[in-house]
Structure 1
Amino acid sequence: MTAVPHAFEEYGDETLEQAPAFGPGKDGVFEATLVREPGEETRLLRDYAKVPYHLTGTLDSDPAPGLTTLCLQEPTGGVAQGDRHSIDVTARANARAHVTTQSATKVHSMRANYAHLDATLEVGADAHLEYVPGPTILNEDARCLQTTSVELAETASAIVGDVLIPDGLSDHEPFAFDHYYSRFDARCDGQLVCTDAIDLRPDERDPRDPATVDEYGIVGTLYVLAPAEDAASLSDRVHDRLASLKATTAGASELSCGAGVAVRVLGHRSADVTEAVTAAWDEARRAILGVGAPADRRY
């Protein structure tokens, strides 16, 4: 599991009155290895799921040739204080897969400790892996740490997306959560090509500071890792697609070493931001696979 930032280490020292961190039902683990022979469909070679994660199998309705879908289910209804969830997916050479969730990730209110959602993705030569889960919804007083790391071969590609909704599901003001920290790291053949972090602490939020999300309420992010593609052309394609959407403010930037594109979207409504992130995902897919995002599994 990815190293924990200092601030969240301090939270981790806080004891819980109920089940402790890593206790039964709180230490969710999902591991999967996908393989594909040339010209065939991608198949699941190995998988392991520990409550609260559950997988019923693969879906093969994606329009991209040879691409299979894994839809993770979580029957517990949300993420509570002290939860530690870890996802580890490996797409071996030539495999094509899309990993998603059945619904949004609801991070409930907390009185102590924190929740950690960790994802590790490994993409082999000529493989393509997508991790586009449902939005992350933060409730009042929630503390959530999200860490994602990607290791890919020079001829591989990966797409990782997320939408943050900070107004929760209960009757309280937006940005009433305690602390949200998201960190993304990507390496191509061992070389770091992208590191990005979002650190939001509403009690310290200053709307006059341009380094915050300003007056916007919803944050969307998409990372497109495709070292074999023309990063400048890919960035222009995604930028032009986003420019046609007037309800959001968005930008697309080339990554280091021409490894791909990073996209950030800000908006006032979750529907507008998810539409923009989906549009960027769709355009990136067309550039890499020649096929758009699956209509039945968009946000």
Structure 2
Amino acid sequence: MSVYNLSYCTPDKIPSEVLNYDSTLEQMGVGKSGKLGILQLKLENDPIIHKTTIKYQHYKVPLCIKRAMYLEETCPEMAYIYIISPSGGILQGDRFRMDISLSNSAKSHVTTQSATRIYKMNKNFGTQIINLNVDKDCYLEYIPDQIIPFRDSRFYQVSNIKVHDEATCIYSEILTPGRVASNESFEYDICYMKVKSVNQYDKLRLIDIAKIEPKRENVKSFGILNNYDVLGSVYILTPKDKLNNIQSEILESLSKTKSVIGGCTKLPNENGVLVRMLGSFVEDIRNLIYSIVGILRRNVLNISFSGMRKI
């Protein structure tokens, strides 16, 4: 029996708010062919060609990747990896899992080819596990496009980020109100996203949860989204000696952006930096995230960021 079964792709301890939607599917059942998306990726620096290369890859559609690309002139050894979903998004009963690890001083920028669409569901829910492991002296940017929850969709995502104290990882999320052009703003049932990070000794660095249930709560109230529609989060795990400059520059960047409000705070015990942003348009949040990537590259790698490239 293959190890890549339903239990392998299903998160542990799914919150009760999500399990409330667990029921027998009217369409393809949970775990059937085409419902389990798997991506395993190991990246290492190759000392012969002086580039980060894919040392191991395994994927199962509806998740796959293209070959590594080298697009950054200021950092030619950095591997750009594009995650692709031929199904176009997550359907009811889908269980996706991604395991990405970096070792031997690898440097990589990982993104999605397009937005993650969470399709309408009449039974059950969709889940995604993201496991990132960043070893000593490695550098990872995980910057996916936005999440678009369709009407009546239910989605649970858990991200486990293991980062060595002498490594760097930046991880971002953008949550939109839905298909605004189709008059589907905040018509989804639930979007529950949990981020947990530990260091190489499994010592806790952060736990952060964003749970939005538009049909059960007024998401436009003060203290939630207020007058804004788009939520952005950025998690930066990097050596402590870099944090003061990074935080200072991010706060300056936030102060200059009139279309987005946000804050930047150090994590307990200086384990990293958390940035939270609210805006009215995805592009404004995305541009600010790119600005933060540029700040991180400048402080950690002493290089510039020429901007995102989509293929």
Normalising by structure 2, we get a TM-score of 0.90
Distance 1:21 1:225 in 2: 35
Instruction: State the partner residue of 1:226.
Output: 238
1:248 to 256, 260, 281: 260
Q: Is the 8 A contact 1:241 1:283 kept in 2?
A: no
Q: Is the 8 A contact 2:172 2:235 kept in 1?
A: yes
Aligned residue pair count: 298
The answer to whether 1:117 aligns with 2:98 is no
Pairwise mapping of residues 67-146 of structure 1 onto structure 2 (< 5 A)? 67-146=78-157
Distance 1:174 1:73 in 2: 25
Instruction: State the partner residue of 1:57.
Output: 67
In structure 1, runs of 5+ residues without a counterpart are none
User: What amino acid sits opposite 1:26 in the alignment?
Assistant: K
Distance 1:23 1:257 in 2: 44
Quick one: percent identity of the two aligned structures? 26
Q: Is the 8 A contact 2:101 2:134 kept in 1?
A: yes
Give the secondary structure class of the aligned counterpart of 2:24: coil
Distance 1:79 1:155 in 2: 35
How much has 1:27 moved relative to structure 2?
Answer: 0.3
How much has 1:159 moved relative to structure 2?
Answer: 0.7
Give the secondary structure class of the aligned counterpart of 2:65: coil
Q: Is the 8 A contact 1:132 1:161 kept in 2?
A: yes
Residues 8-28 of structure 1 deviation map (CA, whole Å, 9 limit, x = unaligned): 23323x111111112111100
Instruction: State the partner residue of 1:273.
Output: 285
User: What amino acid sits opposite 2:142 in the alignment?
Assistant: Y
How much has 1:199 moved relative to structure 2?
Answer: 0.5
User: What amino acid sits opposite 1:29 in the alignment?
Assistant: I
Cα RMSD (Å):
1.9
User: What amino acid sits opposite 1:128 in the alignment?
Assistant: Y
Q: Is the 8 A contact 1:66 1:96 kept in 2?
A: yes
How much has 1:277 moved relative to structure 2?
Answer: 1.9
User: What amino acid sits opposite 1:144 in the alignment?
Assistant: F
Give the secondary structure class of the aligned counterpart of 1:176: coil
How much has 1:297 moved relative to structure 2?
Answer: 2.7
The answer to whether 1:66 aligns with 2:77 is yes
Give the secondary structure class of the aligned counterpart of 1:158: strand
How much has 1:294 moved relative to structure 2?
Answer: 4.2
1:283 to 284, 290, 295: 295
User: What amino acid sits opposite 2:150 in the alignment?
Assistant: N
User: What amino acid sits opposite 2:292 in the alignment?
Assistant: A
Distance 1:205 1:228 in 2: 38
The answer to whether 1:16 aligns with 2:25 is yes
Deviates more, 1:29-38 or 1:245-254: 29-38
Distance 1:221 1:61 in 2: 25
User: What amino acid sits opposite 1:133 in the alignment?
Assistant: P
Distance 1:208 1:74 in 2: 31
Pairwise mapping of residues 31-50 of structure 1 onto structure 2 (< 5 A)? 31-37=40-46, 40-50=50-60
How much has 1:182 moved relative to structure 2?
Answer: 0.6
The answer to whether 1:184 aligns with 2:177 is no
Pairwise mapping of residues 145-184 of structure 1 onto structure 2 (< 5 A)? 145-168=156-179, 171-184=182-195
The 3 A distance-change label for structure 1 pair 207 and 175 is closer
Q: Is the 8 A contact 2:277 2:285 kept in 1?
A: yes
Distance 2:291 2:52 in 1: 25
User: What amino acid sits opposite 2:299 in the alignment?
Assistant: A
Normalising by structure 1, we get a TM-score of 0.94
Distance 2:239 2:225 in 1: 29
In structure 2, runs of 5+ residues without a counterpart are 1-9
Q: Is the 8 A contact 1:156 1:228 kept in 2?
A: no
